Amino acid sequence: MKIFNLKNIGLLVLLIVAVFLPVVISDYWRFVLTIAFFYTIMAASWNLLGGYTGQFSLGHHTFAMIGAYTSTLLMQKAGAPFWVSIPAGILLTMIISSLLGVMCLRIHGIYLALITWAFAEVVRNYFRLHYAFTGGDRGIDSPLIFGTMKPTPYYYLFLGIAVLAIVLIAVIMRSKIGYYLRSIRDDPIAARSMGVDIVRYKIFVFMVASGLAGMAGVFYGHSIGLISPVMGDFNEMAMIIIFVVIGGMRTQAGPIVGAISVRYLMELLRAQSEFRIVILTAIVILIMRFFNGGLMELFRRLKKWIRRDREGPVSAYQELEQKQG
Amino acid sequence: MRSLSSYPANSGTSKCKQKEDEAIDLHLFSQFLITGIIMGVLYCLMSMGINFIYGIMKVINWSMGEFFMIGAFTQYILLTFLLGADYWYVGVILSALVVFILGALVQRILIKPMFVGIIEAKMEYATIVTISMAIFLRNIAVAIGGPKIYTPPDYAGPTQILTLPLSGNRLVAFIGALILLGLFYYFIKKSWTGRAFQGVAQNRSGVQTAGVNVLKYDMLAFGIGTALAGAGGALLAPIFLVHPLCGLVPTVRGFEIIVIAGLGSIPGILVAGLSLGIAESLGSAFISPSFVDIYGFILLVIILSIKPYGLFGKPEREV
């Protein structure tokens, strides 16, 4: 296998473009891209969980919120430094997610969605109502990790952790575990009869995905400077699903393409704040109904259409058929 | 939202007042118990709709809260512009009808393709489509209604049960919900259509050979399930008030009830709904109102760790 094939060179070029992009764009667009990277991590980790493994967690945004609040509250109330509070936030999301996973991943898939949804609303309402501790709807000030409001350092921070998360997910999907996860999605009973410990791997993937979401949330809080229960609003979860479905479910690049392009579209439609979500959800319904696969499927078909005449025969029979015309 | 029921009770504990306090505690206790029972029955209505749709089509309708919201909005519009406050019971029936038609249309357009062989990953499709629809409807409601909270006229004035004061709206909603649940139960158990529904829930292909048009019943079931939510929204309009997010709390409770009861069990829903309502009401009264949403969830966690499939649920086989 060649390391310098066309695909890897393309990825490298994209990375270099992303690294040097802040030189040419304004502060505003740097900030927009920072937020887009945050959503990229969320979408990619949810794709690992909901797309590849088929475990529909509807509390993914809540784990980001828990991470952000844990880290901020540790700093504000207990005076912990960054190097304690950030790992603590990530660790706590992983612990909570594994406990939830132990509870509801033993049973039928739909229960996970029901329970995580209830969990998300419960946690959000807790943060709203217990205002003496969490600041309520007004939110809570989160210390900035670089001590500045300038978006450039946060851009590189989020680019870094987004690349890290995507590489981690790619490694998982290419390892033996990746095949286990796909088999769990396609047929849990067959997977179990082939010796895959499905509950263990479900909990593992739930923990990894939620931990990634928690990590994204922790850094999000420390780079925005203010966290509030809006982070736990169900609209956020819907946005994650929108990114993944529009980009293309069960593809590695789908969530990335989806998150960045949809965030860009949302910036263009800034004036119509409610209608942009109405339009996006309508697009999602149409994609699910008529064109399963999203943007990546579109690219694949386009590539196939361009390469049509260069495609070699699949079987000897086909070759014979082609020769005969 | 849950304003009156969530005040912390019991503050003074000096010794000379202790006897008086106990009497007050008992009084408060029974009052919160009644509030809990009333809310529990109302949550039952919500989760009955979700459960019915799941039983027939094996699809969870995530946009139930939005149909609840549409029912509440329809009721508000009917009462303020057409009927007037006295005919609220006509309004409830009409808004249930509107939601029924809307639900049946949604099923016809979006959910039916699942069963005629176009869609491959069924659960994924249903989840994503209904979640998107929930956000779609919610944001349309925000765009049309604005970020305002509308207050429909009261259905009934404050009343008393023995010596306990009680909000008339809650009592009316309670009785209305009981009537609706009773009618629904009677419909499912006694009528021919209801028996056909039981058959569809048991075995889709089996009942098809007996001459039941399953696709038509799917549409009816989706309409009836959403109409229950819509009627709930109309009944609860003076309590939860009318705004784009008003369906959220009842839906969360509805899902919690379903998980506690186990999917597809009707008596389980009544038990789970009542216990959830009581746990919530007593918890917020005697422990702390900040954690009002957590009591139900703790109940859920306890029951799931003892019985993973819920109180009355059976392990389901997926092949």
Question: Per the CB < 8 Å rule, is A129 touching B290?
Answer: yes
Mean pLDDT of chain B: 84
Tokens 């991470």 correspond to A67
Could you tell me the pLDDT band of residue B4, with boundaries at 50, 70 and 90?
very low
> What is the distance in angstroms between the Cα of B125 and the nearest Cα belonging to chain A?
7
Q: Per-residue pLDDT tens for B161-183?
A: 777 778 888 888 899 999 999 99
Indicate the angle between helix axes A198-224 and A27-46, nearest 10 degrees. 170
In sequence order, which residues have a C-beta less than 8 Å from that of residue B192 and are 6 or more positions away? Answer: none
Tell me the C-alpha distance between B121 and A243, whole Å: 19
Query: In tens digits, what is the pLDDT along chain A, a chain of 325 residues?
Result: 566 788 888 889 999 999 999 989 999 999 999 999 999 999 999 999 998 998 889 999 999 999 999 999 999 999 999 999 999 999 999 999 999 998 888 777 688 888 899 899 889 988 988 888 888 889 999 999 898 888 999 999 999 999 999 999 999 999 999 999 999 988 888 999 999 999 999 999 999 999 999 999 999 999 999 999 999 988 899 999 999 999 988 888 999 999 999 999 999 988 877 788 899 999 999 988 887 778 888 888 888 888 775 556 666 666 666 666 5
**Cβ contact, residue pair A285, B143, below 8 Å:** no
On chain B, the residues whose CB falls within 8 A of the CB of A198 are: none
CB contact under 8 A, A117 and B252: yes
Confidence category of residue B295, pLDDT binned at 50, 70, 90: confident
What ipTM score was computed for the predicted complex, to two decimals? 0.86
CA of B15: how far to CAs of B9, B11, B18, B19, B287, in Å?
Answer: 17, 13, 5, 8, 21
pLDDT for residue A324: 67
**C-alpha dist (Å) from residue B14 to A20, A81, B20, B252:** 71, 44, 10, 40
Q: Which residues in chain B are contacts of A111 at CB distance < 8 A?
A: 259
Collect all residues of chain B within an 8 Å Cβ-Cβ radius of residue A282: 132, 136
pLDDT at B19 over 60: no
CA distance A241 to chain B (A): 8
Distance CA B261, CA B272 (A): 6
How do residues B200-253 score in pLDDT, each as one tens digit?
988 888 898 988 889 899 999 999 999 999 999 999 898 888 998 888 888 888
H or E, element range at A226? strand A226-227
Q: Is the pLDDT of residue B15 over 60?
A: no
- Whether B13 has a pLDDT exceeding 60, the answer reads no
Please report residues of A whose CB lies closer than 8 A to that of B300. Answer: 115, 118
Q: Which of B123, B132, B252 is closest, CB to CB, to A281?
A: B132
- Asked if the model's pLDDT at residue B11 lies above 50, the reply is no
Interface touch A241/B305, C-beta < 8 Å: no
- How crowded is the C-beta side of A156, counted as CA atoms within 13 Å? 10
Q: Quote the radius of gyration of chain A (alpha carbons, Å).
A: 21
Amino acid letter, A176: K
pLDDT of the residue at B5: 41
Is the confidence at residue B1, as pLDDT, over 50? no
- Grouping H, G, I as helix, E, B as strand and the rest as coil, residue A64 is helix
**Rounded distance between C-alpha atoms, residue A267 and residue A257, angstroms:** 15
Which residues does chain B have within 8 Å of residue A52's beta carbon, measured at their own beta carbons?
A: none
* Burial call A109-126: b when 16+ CB within 10 Å, e when fewer: bbbbbbbbbbbbbbbbbb
Q: Give the SS3 label for residue A107.
A: coil
**Size (chain A), residues:** 325
A113 vs B contacts (CB less than 8 Å): 60, 127
What's the distance, CA A136 to chain centroid? 27
* Tens of pLDDT, residues A110-150: 888 888 998 998 899 889 888 888 888 899 999 998 988 88
Residue in A closest to B303 by C-alpha: A103
- When CB atoms are compared, the residue of B125, B136, B259 closest to A281 is B136
Q: Is the pLDDT of residue B16 over 80?
A: no
Task: Answer whether A274 sits within 8 Å of B291, measured CB to CB.
Answer: no
- Long-range residue pairs from B175-184, CB within 8 A, at least 24 positions apart, any chain: B176/B89, B176/B92, B176/B231, B176/B235, B177/B41, B177/B42, B177/B44, B177/B45, B177/B232, B177/B235, B178/B41, B180/B45, B180/B228, B180/B231, B180/B232, B181/B41, B181/B44, B181/B45, B181/B48, B184/B48, B184/B52, B184/B224, B184/B228
pLDDT value at position B23? 61
For chain A, how far is it from start to end, CA to CA, in angstroms? 35
Mutate to test the interface with A, among B290, B307, B314 (most CBs of A within 10 A): B290
**Closest residue by Cα to residue B120 from A314, A56, A293, A107:** A293
Distance CA B230, CA B45 (A): 10
The pTM (predicted TM-score) of the whole model is 0.88
